[in-house]
Amino acid sequence: MNIGSFIVKNALRNKRRALLSVLSVAVSLFLFVVLLVALREITLPPEDVGSALRVVVRNRISLAALLPARQRATLERIPGVEAVTPFTWYGGKYKNEQGVPFAQFAMDPAKLPVIFAELKLPSDQYKAFLKDQRACVVGKETVKKYQLKIGDRMYFVGQIWPCDLELKVAAIYEGTLDDRNVLFHHKYLEEASGAEGWVGTWWVKARSIEDMPRVIEAINNAFANTSAEVRAESERTFQLSFVSMWGNIKFLVRSICSVVVVTLLVVSASTMSMAIRERFRELAVLKALGYRRRELFAFILAESFGLAMSGAVLGVLGAWIFSLNAYKLTQGVFLYFELTPKIAGLALAVAGLLGIIASVAPAVAVARMSVVNGLKTLD
């Protein structure tokens, strides 16, 4: 028997305890990793090239407050602006589902390929969408989920707007970060709701990245001290503003992660202390045979570190599998759930550190133990 097999046999002497120890580390680090990835996805929403040129203009007082349609002419005259479209959230129920399963936006159909240049849409389908005021463009993920096809009807029950809508699927798009939305004619929403002359937000396309700061400043200044002051911001900043509505989400998630780590440390230290106490006599025999304290400490450390890292590998592997299926498992809450090497490395480092710390107390106890007292321990 060599040293490696000796350590493994000691670690697996009580197989049930070893298994429970590994599983406790695995489950704890799975939760740790999933929370960190979720926090990353919430606080750092994905961004594509097209979004870097888009400016969202909303009412300065509240996102729920509407803006007058007459503002469009002013926006289009601002230097550096390539295109402007109303972009109004409808938020209707589809097929009696709880909540709103996907977003529905009313916009100017003529500006669709300009505002969303990354959007891939067959030209014949786009022409059909332009011709029919009750037509809509649907993301491929929603088409797949509800098994829709060109020509199908979609019926929405208004939750925010006082009207129900009947839309005809005229086109299917893909290529964006979120291929779930439904886009339809703003004119249809105005006529159905009776709220002509009002929009939810304006979405503006800047000509270049260099124009973005000037365009945002010019938009804010253009409507300053008016009855409908606006707040213009980049699309990414607009997305992050929703995160701020959740309060200090970072503090909450990090607090939970800290509790998980501390609990795991207590469990690991307790397990190792119990395992070493049962072997005091054997360790005393090793001392009597000439093994020094540092060698005994190395045995204990290797056992503790090995169990912790085994659990860590299982936990990270489980989190990776979860990340691959996060879209389905979270029912579309997370479009992307990327387990980065940095987060995986952090989890492994935490497990390694816990394994080392958990071995300190039993190692100190063994170091202080005399051979005589050790031999008497389990007589």
179: phi then psi, degrees, rounded to nearest 5: -90, 50
pLDDT one digit per residue (tens) for the chain, 379 residues: 555 565 566 555 667 777 888 888 888 889 888 888 887 777 766 666 667 889 999 999 888 899 999 999 999 999 999 999 999 999 888 887 777 778 899 999 999 999 998 889 999 999 999 999 999 999 998 999 899 999 999 999 988 898 999 999 999 998 887 788 999 999 999 999 888 889 999 999 999 989 999 999 999 999 998 889 999 998 888 877 766 656 567 777 788 888 888 888 887 777 777 666 666 566 556 565 556 666 667 677 777 777 888 888 999 999 888 888 776 666 655 666 778 889 889 889 888 888 888 877 676 666 566 555 555 554 4
As given in the structure block, the two tokens for residue 56 are 């969202």
d(CA 187, CA 133): 7
343: how many CB neighbours lie within 10 A of its CB? 21
As given in the structure block, the two tokens for residue 164 are 């129900």
As given in the structure block, the two tokens for residue 353 are 């550190």
Q: How far apart are the first and last CA of the chain?
A: 26
